[in-house]
Amino acid sequence: PDHAARFREQTPESRSFHDYAASVTPLGVESNVRSFDPYPFYTERAEGSYIYDVDGNEYLDFLLALGPIILGHNHPDVVEAVQEMAETLDVTATPSPISIQFMEKVVEMTPSIETVRMANSGTEATMHALRVARSYTGKEKIAKPEGGYAGAHDYALQSVYADEEALGPADEPNTVPYGTGIPEAVRDTVVPFPFNDKEATEKILRKHADDMAAVIIEPVMFSCGCLKPRDGYHEFLRELTEELGIVLIWDEVMTGFRLGPQSAQGRLDIMPDMTTFAKAAGGGYQVAGFGGKEEIMAEIIPPGKNEGEKWNTSAFHGGTYNGHPIAAAAGLATLEVLDSGGVYEHIDRLGDRLFTGLQEAADDVGIPVNVQHIGSMGQVYMTDHDIHRYRDTWHANEDQFADWWLEAAADGVLFGNPMQGERFFTTLTHTEEEIDDAIEVAEDAFRAVNH
Ligand code: PLP
């Protein structure tokens, strides 16, 4: 059966818009992951739990911009903060109270962040954090879990996604650049290791310890769906990196301010040396940052600044739009709502209801599915294989997932985007009724693709 048929029927405007868009920009999209078969729909408006496309279709949104929309679209406090700032202060390249207030709030809420700097995207945050860690340790290599995504810069685009042949042995994987255009010299600075495999991780980190500046890792690996840490993996990694003098960077771009007011580090009670965040911290605006121990962040400060020493004696951090007043105002308004109580209780309860309901629906249909989730975030894997390492996700059926997603989208529900390696979310404006309706749509879609 053609699982895209109903989607195509309902989206004629998007289809012709896509032809036009593709003449303007490669693939007709602004970011590669927005492109899918048969073509993406184009979004015109968002409100609360819903987004609306150019054909006037309404979608119950669990994609939620891949993470930022934690209070629902266009939360009134965020809109008000943005409108007020838009009339007051644009960008000046001078520091402003609003971004300092935002950063103070980040420090107040995040247990391991003593001091922080702002950036405009998760990509920038991880890029700067890695430079600071290299500067602090005087070492060059970084380690990351295979399958992990830590942003779109060359140092992070290694072993993000590759097949078995390229990645090689599971206990000592090869470094595989994600796509073309990445210098080989950069590849040689990145060492991948298998998440949730303590023995292999230890062997690899010990082998490279003398050259290893940092480990950058997501507390829960949402960049390959939803891989939860097992058997004290993070406790082990915390101890090992401390022993080996390696900076432990938790990439909380996805989990930060999403898994709780104290982010994943509060929820799992583990203190990294540095943290990156973005997405939920901005409630829909371009907020990101990196922070950590004061001693490490001091690498940004030239040691003899007061004696006129220049920037080239320290780790450089800059950016015209860092701490943009509108983004900072949106971020502060978001964090204030998040910190005022009730939000996490709501999104986690609905997350439990949604992801448990999806597993039950699949089981009722009799289709092999493994749903993984923590709190308000999770993913549906089209396999009944155990999922706790990146290579387990290879058992999941990508095409069946895309078909299931399209069937649900045609019924007005967006379970993330049509890629097995993504994940989806609940948000403050979702209701129990919406969750139950979505589970019914999902069940019909499971039935439609169960062949
Ligand atoms: N790190 C993680 C864990 C992410 O999931 C992402 C984006 O999805 C990034 C970094 C990069 O963030 P951005 O897309 O804002 O550049």
Residue 162's pLDDT is what?
Answer: 82
Neighbours of 86 (CB within 10 A): 12
388 Cβ neighbours under 8 A, 6+ residues apart: 196, 227, 228, 230
Instruction: Give 250's strand partners.
Output: 217, 275
Q: Which atom of ligand 1 is nearest to the CA of 148?
A: 3
Neighbours of 7 (CB within 10 A): 23
Say whether pLDDT at 203 is over 80: yes
- Residues 357, 358, 360: CA angle, nearest 5 degrees: 65
Q: How would you class 174 by CB atoms within 10 Å of its CB: exposed for 0-12, middle for 13-18, buried for 19 or more?
A: middle
What's the pLDDT tens digit per position in 230-262?
999 999 999 999 999 999 999 999 999 999 999
Task: Pick the more confident residue, 309 or 426.
Answer: 426
Shortest-distance Cα residue to atom 13 of ligand 1: 122
Instruction: Give residue 360 CA to ligand 1 midpoint distance, Å.
Output: 31
Rounded Cα distance between 279 and 47, Å, is 18
Domains of the chain: 5-73+342-449 (3.90.1150.10), 76-339 (3.40.640.10)
- Average pLDDT, stretch 362-371? 98
Instruction: Give residue 149 CA to ligand 1 midpoint distance, Å.
Output: 7
% of the chain exceeding 70 in pLDDT: 99
| Ligand 1 pocket check for 122: Cβ under 6 Å | yes
Say whether pLDDT at 349 is over 80: yes
- Residue found by looking up tokens 């829960």 in the block: 220
Residue 286's pLDDT is what?
Answer: 97
**Chain-centroid distance, C-alpha 59:** 22
Instruction: Give residue 19 CA to ligand 1 midpoint distance, Å.
Output: 28
- Average pLDDT, stretch 82-104? 98
CA dist 29 to 11, 21, 414, Å? 16, 7, 18
- DSSP letters along 285-352, please? S--EEEEE-HHHHGGGS-TTGGGT--GGGS-----TTTT-HHHHHHHHHHHHHHHTSSHHHHHHHHHH
| Ligand 1 pocket check for 151: Cβ under 6 Å | yes
Identify each DSSP E strand in 43-91 by its residue range: 43-47, 50-53, 58-61
Q: How confident is the model at residue 161 (pLDDT cuts 50, 70, 90)?
A: confident
Q: How confident is the model at residue 310 (pLDDT cuts 50, 70, 90)?
A: confident
For residue 8, is it left (φ>0), alpha (ψ between -120 and 50) or beta? Answer: alpha
CA dist 334 to 270, 272, 323, Å? 24, 24, 15
- Average pLDDT, stretch 361-386? 98
| Ligand 1 pocket check for 149: Cβ under 6 Å | yes
- Residue found by looking up tokens 């266009």 in the block: 74
Residue 313's pLDDT is what?
Answer: 81
Give the mean pLDDT of the chain.
97
Which of 127, 275, 279, 322 has most ligand 1 atoms within 8 Å of its beta carbon, as the pocket-test mutant? Answer: 279
CA atoms within a 13 Å half-sphere pointing along the CA-CB vector of 82: 16
Is the Cα torsion angle 21, 24, 29, 32 positive or negative in sign? positive
Residue 188's pLDDT is what?
Answer: 93
Cis-peptide, bond into residue 38, ω within 30° of zero: yes
Instruction: Give residue 221 CA to ligand 1 midpoint distance, Å.
Output: 12
Q: pTM value?
A: 0.97
Residue 326's pLDDT is what?
Answer: 98
Instruction: Give residue 251 CA to ligand 1 midpoint distance, Å.
Output: 8
User: Strand 274-277 and strand 247-252: pairing?
Assistant: parallel
Dihedral angle, C-alpha 33, 155, 223, 333, nearest 10 °: -80
Is the Cα torsion angle 335, 339, 344, 346 positive or negative in sign? negative
| Ligand 1 pocket check for 275: Cβ under 6 Å | no
| Ligand 1 pocket check for 126: Cβ under 6 Å | yes
Dihedral angle, C-alpha 392, 394, 399, 405, nearest 10 °: 40
CA nearest neighbour of 349 among 416, 424, 279, 426: 426
Instruction: Give residue 280 CA to ligand 1 midpoint distance, Å.
Output: 11
Say whether pLDDT at 305 is over 80: no
CA nearest neighbour of 260 among 357, 346, 329, 149: 346
| Ligand 1 pocket check for 218: Cβ under 6 Å | yes
| Complex prediction ipTM | 0.99
